[in-house]
Amino acid sequence: MRKILLTGFEPFLNYKINPTMEVVQKLNGRVMNDWIVESFVLPVDFHESEKKILEKVQQIQPEIVVSLGLAAGRYKITPERIAINVKDGAKDNQGFAPVDQEIDVNGPDGYFSTLPIRKITNHLQEVGFPADISNSAGTYLCNNIMYSVLHYVKNEKLNCKVGFIHIPASHELAIQHGNVPSWSITDLTKAIEACLNVITLEG
Amino acid sequence: MRKILLTGFEPFLNYKINPTMEVVQKLNGRVMNDWIVESFVLPVDFHESEKKILEKVQQIQPEIVVSLGLAAGRYKITPERIAINVKDGAKDNQGFAPVDQEIDVNGPDGYFSTLPIRKITNHLQEVGFPADISNSAGTYLCNNIMYSVLHYVKNEKLNCKVGFIHIPASHELAIQHGNVPSWSITDLTKAIEACLNVITLEG
Amino acid sequence: MRKILLTGFEPFLNYKINPTMEVVQKLNGRVMNDWIVESFVLPVDFHESEKKILEKVQQIQPEIVVSLGLAAGRYKITPERIAINVKDGAKDNQGFAPVDQEIDVNGPDGYFSTLPIRKITNHLQEVGFPADISNSAGTYLCNNIMYSVLHYVKNEKLNCKVGFIHIPASHELAIQHGNVPSWSITDLTKAIEACLNVITLEG
Amino acid sequence: MRKILLTGFEPFLNYKINPTMEVVQKLNGRVMNDWIVESFVLPVDFHESEKKILEKVQQIQPEIVVSLGLAAGRYKITPERIAINVKDGAKDNQGFAPVDQEIDVNGPDGYFSTLPIRKITNHLQEVGFPADISNSAGTYLCNNIMYSVLHYVKNEKLNCKVGFIHIPASHELAIQHGNVPSWSITDLTKAIEACLNVITLEG
């Protein structure tokens, strides 16, 4: 069967849980059409998360890579349109806090997602989940792995579609962390499953 | 069995649906402990909604009245703390748009909810639904019926707890209407059921 | 000359400055029509702020009391419509953090502002400052002094108009504190001066 | 003297005024160090705004191009980090509403601003104006002219720094249009002047 690499993150900064970890664990091994989901949870560490996801791509040779990130404050499923060649932001779990650094000094300024982002948002809304294309994945780890995998796949000329999807907080995270919009884990998981369905039908 | 009057509203202003209508219809007839839910959907009309809810109170003699309203923009279940003696706001579905009018010229400036609002929010968070006490029910129909029923029950010295709970938009409403946080109807319904559970245990 | 008591607060919680303190200091001694402004800065302490403002009312016998508070997150000048009989919230600067306590066990649930709040917001917009009536002063110190002064003036049958106005963060506070809308101190001061002008013309 | 081309936009969509038009008109002809500002107001039309700004670049041969756009909802001065190769959004004033179109089919996915964006935001905060780098100029006209000028300058190998700065609504716009954060035109103008100062010192 053809493979989908689905990644989430461990909890980061001052959050205690990360709904992306729960979602990818729930979808691990899921079979859809001719495809099987292989899930992997990344550490909140600029260097390690990039290294680990590229290792996974080499190792399992997926034809689709979908990475999930938490966007606390958003209240829709938001596939990202573009990854940009910048690292900038708060300290990661290792204390690393880059300012306006390039991810790859020879890389282009940006890479568009190669997932069918418009079809994904249209399909999500048809099946009842609010969705929107986002035009910025930020400059933190989420953008970093999106850029790195797109750059790698381009340079290695791999037959692999790559993209990133930000999701809202879960109810559990909102209760612990406070004042952010949230969905139930059930809704988050169903919505990501719907995303993978559209992508595999395209693939 | 003892009775809970549970009210919602028809769609209002430029919205096509109203999740409060769906939630109260789903919970109509629900039995919990010694209590039964009687649901009623109110029109979006200052005069009629007030008249209809007071008629229902007289007719079914509930010991608990819980009214639901949509708070597009909120992302938690928010029991209201107080109703105030003001009508003010956009046109209702009949085109009536009061400015700073009193609901009752002889009424007090405000009435606190007689529902156990702190227990409700604590219980909701325990069972996994983000919740907060709200300190303003606005000055529109929601506040108007909350004030009117509290005023009526006080004046008539009825043995009846009264309050109002604002809920977020549903996913369906968010998809139609645009840029607001939302929950699934399943989550909204379960959360309101949890509210009624706490209130009846108190009652 | 007739007197206006104008109060602000010291910095509170984790903020380093408080624009209300700067605004009231700038307007101290200002004469408008037959009126003179007497400014006073209150401590961020539930007990002391209430005690101090009531002492000032007794001492200077103002015919107008306008209290200012910072509403970090708001981006308009917002006269408050009502004060409610509740103390609830985060720790004050003395570590006192009440939960759902009454301000006065024999007091009414709410007191409307006796300032001409609609005229204030209309006038502010005419002179170029965004403004809106707010329906909740919260449950923290701001609401507490608003309620206490309205209660005192009512019980003592004083000829004195009383109300509260929340203002946005200043640019300086926003730069220090982060992600909140802000106005320049110049704009904040001019806008409050415009408020006092309307109130004294009414008085 | 060396030239700065400073552009703003006419009012767009359902707005009646556009603060960027006012700001660029106020700064037209301003001399700073060896530089002079030449201001130009662009139409809200995808095709015309792009055509007009490129004509201006050819005609006046500026060494700096700074374009301003209104970001209703933002409350800081936000230099944009990147322009992306997409046109998408609501109808412009000519009724043109592209969906996910490329600006240039042979262009790269993104172009970083060549203005010193970090120095700009640091300087603004030092002189008292809240500022932040933005990672998305959207996909509407603002992004379109930013991308087009960067693309042109790159292809023509011109000695010219190019970038885009989004500004908050003005108080006047907020009063007319409703619920958005705002600054006074005085603050907006002073802040943009401070931006030009930093850029020319760099240039």
Q: What is the pLDDT of residue C171?
A: 98
Q: Which chains touch B (3 or more CB pairs under 8 A)?
A: A, C
pLDDT at B203 over 70: no
Residues of A in CB contact (< 8 Å) with B are 75-76, 125, 128-130, 171-172, 174-175, 180-184, 186-187
Q: What is the pLDDT of residue C161?
A: 98
Average pLDDT, chain C: 96
pLDDT in tens, D185-194: 999 999 999 9
Shortest Cα–Cα distance, C80 to chain B (Å): 12
Q: What is the pLDDT of residue C95?
A: 87
Probe site for chain C from D175, D176, D188 (most C CB atoms < 10 A): D175
Region C112-124: mean pLDDT is: 98
Annotation marks residue D166 as catalytic: yes
Which residues in chain D land under pLDDT 70?
Answer: 203
Q: What is the pLDDT of residue C203?
A: 60
3-state SS, one letter per residue, for C117-141 = HHHHHHHHHHCCCCECCECCCCCCH
Non-local (6+) Cβ contacts of D51 within 8 A are none
Q: What is the pLDDT of residue C177?
A: 84
Spot the catalytic one: D80, D123, D151, D160.
D80
Residue D151 and residue D84 in contact, taking contact as beta carbons nearer than 8 Å = no
Q: Is B30 helix (H, G, I), strand (E, B) or coil?
A: coil
Cross-chain Cβ contact D100/A112 below 8 Å: no
Residue A141 tokens, joined: 């780890």
Residues of chain C contacting residue B118, judged by C-beta atoms under 8 Å apart: 99-100
Q: pLDDT grade, residue B90 (50/70/90)? A: confident
Spot the catalytic one: D142, D151, D160, D195.
D142
Residue A79 tokens, joined: 């596939």
Probe site for chain C from B80, B82, B111 (most C CB atoms < 10 A): B82
CA-nearest residue to D139 within chain A is A135
Which residues in chain A land under pLDDT 70?
Answer: 203
First and final CA of chain D: distance in angstroms?
A: 13
Cross-chain Cβ contact C118/B110 below 8 Å: no
What are the DSSP E strand ranges found in chain B?
2-9, 31-32, 35-42, 64-70, 78-79, 82-84, 110-112, 161-167, 169-170, 182-183
Q: What is the pLDDT of residue B12?
A: 81
CA-nearest residue to D172 within chain C is C128
Q: How many CB atoms lie within 10 A of CB A156?
A: 11
- Model pTM? 0.96
Q: What is the pLDDT of residue B177?
A: 84
Q: Rounded to an integer, what distance in angstroms lies between the CA atom of residue A150 and that of residue A108?
A: 11
CA-nearest residue to A118 within chain D is D100
Cross-chain Cβ contact A84/D82 below 8 Å: yes
Spot the catalytic one: A50, A151, A160, A166.
A166
Region B92-120: mean pLDDT is: 95
Spot the catalytic one: A38, A80, A160, A195.
A80
Helices B141-155 and B46-60: crossing angle in degrees, nearest 10, is: 40
Annotation marks residue D47 as catalytic: no
Residues of chain B contacting residue C111, judged by C-beta atoms under 8 Å apart: 109
Q: Read off the amino acid at residue C49.
A: S
Residues of D in CB contact (< 8 Å) with A are 81-82, 84-86, 99-100, 108-112, 118, 135-136, 138-139
Helices (H), chain A: 19-27, 46-60, 117-126, 141-155, 171-177, 185-202
Residue A68 and residue A168 in contact, taking contact as beta carbons nearer than 8 Å = no
Q: What is the pLDDT of residue D203?
A: 60
Any contact of D with B, at least 3 CB pairs below 8 A? no
What strands lie across the sheet with C161-167, from one edge to the other?
C31-32, C35-42, C2-9, C64-70, C161-167, C78-79
Region C90-102: mean pLDDT is: 89
- The pair phi, psi for residue D43, each rounded to 5°, is -75, 155
Residues of chain C contacting residue D75, judged by C-beta atoms under 8 Å apart: 75, 174, 180-182
Residue A197 CB burial class (10 angstroms; 0-12, 13-18, ≥19): middle
pLDDT in tens, B122-149: 999 999 999 999 999 999 999 999 999 9
Q: Rounded to an integer, what distance in angstroms lies between the CA atom of residue C64 and that of residue C202?
A: 11
Residue D30 CB burial class (10 angstroms; 0-12, 13-18, ≥19): middle
Any contact of C with B, at least 3 CB pairs below 8 A? yes
Q: Rounded to an integer, what distance in angstroms lies between the CA atom of residue D93 and that of residue D101?
A: 18
What are B74's strand-pairing partners? Answer: B72
pLDDT in tens, B58-76: 999 999 999 999 999 999 9
